[in-house]
Structure formats: structure tokens, C-alpha cells
Structure 1
Amino acid sequence: MNHKNSHKNYLNQLPSHHIFLVIDRSTPTKKIKKEKLQRVPRIWLTLVVFLNVHGSKRSPLSPKMKNSSSSSPSSSSSSSPSTSLVIGLSKALLISGVIFFIGIVLIPNIRNCPADYATEVVSKSDSATKGTLSSVSLLSPNSNHLGSSSAPQEDDDDPNAPTSLKHLMFGMVGSEAAWHHRKPYVESWWRPNHTRGYLFLDVNPTGDLLPWSPLSPRYKISENITRVVQETGHVDARVARMVHGIRETVRAAGDNKGVRWVVMGDDDTIFMVDNLVQLVAGYDHTKYYYIGGQSEFVLSNFWFSFNQAFGGAGFVLSYPLAKAMSDGIMDCLKRYSYLTSADKTTMSCVADLGVNISPHRGFHQLDMRGDISGFLSYHPNVPLMSLHHFDMADPIFPFVDRAEAAHRIMKSAQLDQSRVMQQVICYHRPLNWSFSLSWGYSAQIYERRMPRSYLQNPIETFLTWGEASNPPFWMFDVRPPLRRPLRGSSFLLPQDCQAQETSKTHHPQVRE
């Protein structure tokens, strides 16, 4: 039954000599302020007050009242007019006080329904029709439109969530000419739909690069570097482009939520992404951090700086630091327009923000040439983060090209990146044998007992990056290669690694 119509029918039955007051939320009267009515609940609130000016104590609709008024017309005249007037005024004052109390004291203290109450009710009722959902959604501005997914979305920006690969943004600055043969290096570690980042090329790809490989990172064309050089007065467009790549990477991240770290590298840098995640997870991503590695070659550090991260090996910036650098990159390029090293320029920009490098020995510029197996077989006892300069060194596995060698080492890394190339030295006492193992890469066996202090040093099978007449050449101790192998010594490079399932761990089986 329509309540509004029932009220009207009810009031139409009232005699004209009764005074009534109706308070209705939908039709405010002049006697109640509008702002007061706004605080009344959504339900109809109707207050009907009847005032019988003749002093009747019965309801105006009572049958007995009707009968008595019709059968005894002289009853109203029995009382004096002054008495009736006093009674009427008294009742009017009493009722006015009650109305004042209800309107001023009680009504403001009644709580409203929450703004999305209707939406909450409908969401709890699975039997609601589409029409009902559509009408109710208008009551709440935050409710979803029909057809949109209501599944909760993962909040990548949750500061309490542990750091994972999705929090890293990669930026690689390269050239279209070099990408034709360097593409396999990056594709060996890139994880489509999991790693986030871009390859910044100087020109649009051509030839065998089209159509663009789905195994490669997405590419962008670098901004107009001529304009950057003109505005900054930089002496080297190549350096300006590489440093400006930090701003382009930050801009490419855009509104992506959850970017905590920006990882910069070259188009031939090989990253161990799982190890990178474990590394940055130990730092506070809300603070300024600049993480990277020095060169292995002493003169490279001397020529540029011992306090810089070498960009070929890659370096990591916390997002707040990367954003601060992005905002001031043009001014920094102006200040250091005379520098011809992108890495030293980056270090200088970071230093001006009050930050120094946090060095890590797992980043490898590989400023060495020739056979680098002697270095990789005796890697420092820290997780491997990156490898660089594959084009300048011999393939790290025999009888394969550099691209296949990169994929082979990453195949070993798929089993356990935290162990790859980690040196283990052990002995077999009954036979008096010594073993030096580089996990996932090589094994060296000596049929004699060799001191650990000797075995932990890399074998200098590699050549210097640049001309150097006198040592020291390296930032680490080395041992010279043997002119003739020791009796019974063996150096093994595996062709493949496979995982053997057990209840708890993976035991790699090396096939020679």
C-alpha cells in the first residue's frame, strides 16, 4: 500500500475545525528548516498533531466522538468560551514544546544511513535484479558500473609488500645497429610479461628486427638528443643521450604503481634478475640509494672514478633518487657538459644530491679481453648480478658462439641464480685431491692438495682492457696460469645442467 496516499486519505477525513501539522522529508514545510530535514533518516517521518479546539479528549476519527457530537449538540455550549480558550491555548503551548524538543534535540542525534548503504545491501543480496543494481549504483559515486569487474586488484603500491620483480623498472640504452647481434644477450634473461622496462634505441628498427620479437623488451625511440645538446651545451651527444636515458626511463614508468627501483644497463648487459631482487630487498626503497660495481681493471677506475658505478655492468637507483635525478637532469648536464663519460656524469649528478655509491662485487663490467674463464671460475663469494662486454671476450663456453654461451649460462641460472658461479673449494682426504667448483659453470680437479688461499684467486687467463705496462692491473689478486698443467689436473666446462628432484632441494647433474 502506498504510504503517501494513505496519509492523504487519512487527513482528508479530518474535520475543518482541527489544526494539523505534517512533517515529511520529501515535502519540507516552511516551519522546519531545510538543513534540519536533511539530517532526518531516509524513511518517511510523519508527525500528525491534532488539536481539538473544543477540548475533546477523544480522537477526531473515533466513532464514539462522532456519535457524541451529533447526539449531544448542547455539550459544547455547556462550557464557557473563556474556559475553552484557555484549554486550547494550553494545549497549543504544550504541543509546540513537544515539537520543538523533537525537532531540535532528537532529530539531529539520529544517525544517517551511510552513503553507500544501498550498495552494501544490494551486494549482500545475490537475488537483486539488474534494474535494482542500476538504480542503487546511482546512490554511491564510488560504486562500479554494470559489467565492470569487481574482483579485487592487487595493490602493487603496498609499502608493506615484500620486494619482487614487479617492483623493478629496467632501462637499457642501445643502438639499432648493435641490437641486430646483441639481442640474444638480453633475451637470455628477459622474462616477457614479468620484467618491466624498455629498450631505448636511437632510430626505428629495420631489417631482421621486424617484426619485433615478443621475447625482447619493448622499445622506445630516444628523445631528440639534438635538442638536449643545444639546451645543455654538452660536448658529447652520446654521453648526453645515455644520461638522459634515466629521465626517459622514469617517464616511461609513468603512473605504474609499485616501481621501487630503476635498473639501468646497456643493450649487451646480462642481468641475474632474481639476485637483483634479493639485493634490493635488503634496502629501504623510500630512501636514496645508488648501487653498482667498479671496473675490474685498475686503470678504468683511475681514468674515470673509483666512486662510480660502471653502467655497462648496470646500476640500481631507488625510485625516489631516480625521480630526483629525472627532475634535475637538464641542469646536471649543463653543470657537467664538459665530461665525456656517461657513468662519471651520472655519479656526479648523484653526488650533488648527497648520495654516494653503495658498491657491490656482483656487478661485472668485465673490462678484460680474451679468455675470461679464469675469472668466472673463481668468482667472489657474493651473488652474481650482471655480466657485460660479451662482444669483447671469447665465448665463455668452448665450441659455441657468444649468443649460445649466454643462453647456456642462463640455463644454469634457472636452477638457482643465488648459486651460479659461486666458488666452492673442497678436498677428498683419502685420495688427497683438491676441487674448485664454480657452480653451474666449471669444475677444476687437482690430484694433489692445494691450499685454499691459492685456489681462491682467479687464474689470469684474460688480458687487460687497455694498454698497461706495469702492474697492478686488477682490483683483485690473481695467480698466473701454469706453463704446463700439474700432473693429473683437469679443467671441466659442462655442456648442460639438469635438476634432480628430491624432497627438498635441487641437485644439479653436470654432463661433461
Structure 2
Amino acid sequence: MKAWRVLVLQITTSKVTDAFTLFMKSAFVISTVASLSLLLYFTFSYSHLLLLSCPHCSRDPVPVLSLRKFTLPASNDPEPPTNISHILFGIGGSARTWHKRRHYCELWWRPNITRGFVWLDERPQKNVTWPAGSPPYRVSSDTSRFKYSCWYGSRSAIRIARIIKESFELGLANVRWFVMGDDDTVFFTENLVRVLSKYDHDQMYYIGANSESVEQDVVHSYTMAYGGGGFAISYPLAVELVKILDRCIDRYAKMYGSDQKVQGCLSEIGVPITRELGFHQVDIRGNPYGLLAVHPLAPLVSLHHLDYVDPLFPTLTRTDSLKRLRTAYELDSDRTLQHSFCHELTRNWSISISWGYTIQLYPSLPTAKELETAPQTFWTWRTWSTEPFTFNTRPVSANPCKQPVIYFLDGAYDSGSTGETVTTYRRHVDGGKGCDRHEYVAARGVERFNVRASKFNPDLWKKAPRRQCCEVVNGGDDTDINVVEVMIRSCNPWDSVTPR
């Protein structure tokens, strides 16, 4: 009897346990379904409220979860440094003008390496084959529902402002930076990567530069990264920007350009511009020589508006000029346009080098302050005036005896075993009357410069900036020479460019 009671007790206990387990499982399932239902309800209610408050905004719901797709590294692996695959380019273009301007983009675009799209206003004609060397294209969404009230502008500003949003919503994997530019923007991508690598892409950054012409900055903004020169937005900032962009565009309907509208929206988020001097809007007219001959101490990142200025090299077309510049850039991207100057005291010469582009030979000893100041070979963008600019300039004298002898890049190659680069520069003959003074005759006797330099150490960009030094290595006497050999090197602690 006792054994039977124990058996009954065990059976009863087992049934109670099973019933309790079933009850708990049912409760868990019901609570999970209820939680998901509430989440979906509030998500769509939130999106619905947003659309009610802005009935003409995009009907796509605001993403509650990030669209970012991750490739998770192994648990102990450090995050890899930023490289070109982490950048998604958004290029503003037009189907009707792409064939006229695509050569600028194709200079720097690398199929299957660079990532991004040209965003067009409409599909190309069916009988037009899209160029293999161009970025792939996307067609922008219709923007007719948005307000635009700038009487002297174009509604295309709305479409181009939304490229950042449409790029984000593609949900592409491993994007750290969204980089915007125009169809005539020339990017120097290795240097762009170098600049962006300085910043933590998990923070909210807005990186670019102002216009060179003060009149442009006054009319538009000093706090804006100009779109033609290109600007970069980090992924976390893009997450916040796309939430407000469509409604924000209407709030800034009076603003002229897409870059203005984007900056206005970023001001609502509270993120200011981080200026990088290598982005160049090129809001100038005339000859860009002076701007590039004394480039700031920063990697060359972009050039823009090249159809509106003279070719970089006076004997070449605009496109061939860029190809010539890129021969040096591909040899040493970090050093391109970096400015060095030195005195050759035996001959009373000063030599100013913009590496990979030009050399100015002065048969005199101007001060370092003069040599670092841009010779004004250009005018302002809007009014073609001689001033003001956002950097100092100095006038170029019409007197040939007060002008330097100019040399342009002629070739660039790797010296081989020494690990140095050699760039050669040939004297430019402009056909004008030269100076007959003895010191100028001797200077004009120099036909060519050969410049040797070690490969630029990219870690120098992470240190306090200092212009590199140079010295003439075949000087030392007063004999006439027609080839000057120059070495560019890091400065020693006691080095300075000081005339005696």
C-alpha cells in the first residue's frame, strides 16, 4: 500500500510539473507576440505621424534600425584601418551633360575598387551605352513635392541634397564615410583616404572646406563645406541626417545650393564643419597657378571648377594637364603639390617648389613670408575682382625683372635602388620680353631642374605640421649651369630659410 501511494504521488507530481511547464511556455509565447505587436504598432504609428506632419515627404518610413550591414571581425581582431572600400561616393550629375563632363570623374574612378554612383536626373537615352570607365548610375527620386523658392537657383539643388539620403538607404555593407561631389570634381582618392583615416568614423563628422572667394562665403556660408570641392559625412552622422533631411529641405527652401541645404540640416543636429585644406572648391577665375604653386601643408584631396579656369599646364589641355599632374601623384601621392623653398646663397637665388607641378626661380632673396604667399594669378569667382580671398595673396608685377623664371613638371620616375623619386621641370617660354639684367640672364640659362626626394612619410600628417626643406646640391661656385639639382628633405632642428 505504501509503495502504491508513492507511485500515485509521483504520477500526480509529474502531471502538475508538466502542466506548469506548459503554462510557462504559453505565457512566454504570448508575451513575445504581444511585445512584437507593440513594437510594430509604435514603429508604424511613429512613421505615420511623421508623414502626417510632412505629407509631401518621402513615403519611405524613417528607419528605426540602422540600415548598416556589418561584417563582424573575429572577436580579438582589431578593426582594419579605413581604406577606399569604406567610402561610398555620391556624384551629382545630369544625363544630358554626363558625356561632356565624365572625363573628370574617369580620371580618378577605379572600377571594382571605388564604390558609389552617379545620381542622374533621368535615365540615359536607350541608344546610349553607359561608359565602362564611369561610375555606375542611379536615377534620383522625384522631388517635385518639395519647396524651392530661391529665385536665382535651380530646383536640382533639392535632388542633389538628397543624394546622401538615397545613398544611405541603399544599405550597402561596410560604409564608414559618404563622400559627396559634383560631376566635375576630381578626387585624389589615396589622399582622401589618408585624411579620413585621421578621424574616428564612429563619431559624427562633417569634413570639407570653404570657398576661396570671400564673396562666395558671405553670400552662402562660412560654416559650409562646399559641394564642388567635395565633403565627407561619417556613417553615424548620416544616420541622424537622413531622419530629418526631407522635412529639413523644406525649411531651407530659400537656400540656393544643395550643400547649403545639407549644412542647414547638420546645424540642426549640432555638428559643425571640420575643415581640411586639401579640399578645393576652386571658386576663382583666370589662372589657378598661384593657388597651386603654394599649396597649404595638407594632402591634395580634390579640385573643382576646372572648366572655368585656365589649364594647369599652359601647353596642355585641361584633361592632359590633370594627367600630367597625376604622373607625379601616382609616384608619391602624399607629396603632390607640397611646398618647399630654399635660398642658394652663392648665386643669390631663391627656389620655390610645388612638388609634381612647378618651380619658381627668383634671382634674388625674397623673404620666406613672400615665398609662402600665393602670387595672385586669378580673380574672385563672382565679380572677377582682385580681392578678397580666404588666404593671403601678393600681386604679380608686370615688370619682367620682378617676376620669377617659371618651370613646369616634365617627368617623374622612381630612382630605383635608393628609394627616392626624381621629378624634372623644364623652363616655360611664354614668348614675352625677358629681363636683360645680368642676374636674370644667368637664371634664364637654367633649362631644367631635377628634384630628388624620399617618399613622403604619411605618418608626418599625424604630427605637428612643418614645411620640408630643400637645398641645391650642385651649387657652391659661380659657374653657369643649365641643370640645377635639388634635394627635398626633412628639416634639421637648426634649418631655416633665412637670407644672409
Q: TM-score range by the shorter chain?
A: 0.5 to 0.7
Q: For the residues of structure 2 that align with 1:436 and 1:355, how far apart are their CA atoms?
A: 39
1:482 pairs with one of 367, 377, 397? 397
The alignment status of 1:302 with 2:302, answered yes or no, reads: no
Q: For the residues of structure 2 that align with 1:509 and 1:472, how far apart are their CA atoms?
A: 34
Which residue in 1 is equivalent to 2:143? 225
2:176 pairs with one of 236, 242, 260? 260
Q: Which amino acid aligns with 1:493?
A: F
1:431 pairs with one of 344, 347, 358? 347
Q: After the TM superposition, which residues 105-504 of structure 1 pair with which residues of structure 2 at under 5 Å, given as runs?
A: 160-206=79-125, 210-227=128-145, 229=146, 237-252=155-170, 254=171, 256-467=172-383, 472-486=387-401, 489-503=404-418
From the two aligned structures, give the one with the greater strand fraction: 2
1:343, distance to aligned residue in structure 2 (A): 1.7
Which residue in 2 is equivalent to 1:506? 420
Pair 1:174–1:156, CA change in 2 (3 A) = farther
Q: Give deviations 1:434-464, integer Å, cap 9, x for gaps.
A: 1000010001111222211111111111122
Q: Which amino acid aligns with 2:416?
A: E
Pair 1:234–1:259, CA change in 2 (3 A) = farther
Q: For the residues of structure 2 that align with 1:316 and 1:189, how far apart are their CA atoms?
A: 17
Q: Is the 8 A contact 1:234 1:333 kept in 2?
A: no
Q: Is the 8 A contact 1:297 1:465 kept in 2?
A: yes
Q: Is the 8 A contact 1:225 1:240 kept in 2?
A: yes
Which residue in 1 is equivalent to 2:27? none
Q: For the residues of structure 2 that align with 1:223 and 1:155, how far apart are their CA atoms?
A: 35
Q: Give deviations 1:300-331, integer Å, cap 9, x for gaps.
A: 00001111110000001001111221222111
Which residue in 1 is equivalent to 2:463? none
Q: For the residues of structure 2 that align with 1:186 and 1:353, how far apart are their CA atoms?
A: 31
Pair 1:165–1:156, CA change in 2 (3 A) = farther
Q: For the residues of structure 2 that align with 1:156 and 1:381, how far apart are their CA atoms?
A: 38
Q: Percent identity?
A: 36
Pair 1:207–1:373, CA change in 2 (3 A) = farther
Aligned-partner SS, 2:224: coil
What is the TM-score when the length of structure 1 is the normalising length?
A: 0.65
What is the TM-score when the length of structure 2 is the normalising length?
A: 0.67
Q: Give deviations 1:115-167, integer Å, cap 9, x for gaps.
A: xxxxxxxxxxxxxxxxxxxxxxxxxxxxxxxxxxxxxx995997721111111
1:487, distance to aligned residue in structure 2 (A): 7.0
1:403, distance to aligned residue in structure 2 (A): 1.6
Aligned-partner SS, 1:177: coil
Pair 1:408–1:181, CA change in 2 (3 A) = farther
Equivalenced residue count is 358
Structure 2 runs not aligned, ≥5 long: 1-10, 15-70, 427-500
1:292, distance to aligned residue in structure 2 (A): 0.6
Q: For the residues of structure 2 that align with 1:179 and 1:441, how far apart are their CA atoms?
A: 28
Q: Give deviations 1:161-183, integer Å, cap 9, x for gaps.
A: 11111111111011123221211
Pair 1:450–1:188, CA change in 2 (3 A) = same
Q: Give deviations 1:207-247, integer Å, cap 9, x for gaps.
A: 99x422222111111111224x2xx5666521211111111
Q: Which is higher, the Rg of structure 1 or of structure 2?
A: 1
Q: For the residues of structure 2 that align with 1:159 and 1:218, how far apart are their CA atoms?
A: 32
Q: For the residues of structure 1 that align with 2:403 and 2:247, how far apart are their CA atoms?
A: 62
Pair 1:499–1:247, CA change in 2 (3 A) = same
Q: For the residues of structure 2 that align with 1:202 and 1:249, how far apart are their CA atoms?
A: 15
Q: For the residues of structure 1 that align with 2:207 and 2:74, how far apart are their CA atoms?
A: 23
Pair 1:233–1:207, CA change in 2 (3 A) = closer
Q: For the residues of structure 1 that align with 2:243 and 2:89, how far apart are their CA atoms?
A: 18
Q: Is the 8 A contact 2:210 2:281 kept in 1?
A: yes
Q: For the residues of structure 1 that align with 2:294 and 2:270, how far apart are their CA atoms?
A: 35
1:481, distance to aligned residue in structure 2 (A): 0.8
Aligned-partner SS, 1:494: strand
Q: For the residues of structure 1 that align with 2:340 and 2:302, how far apart are their CA atoms?
A: 20
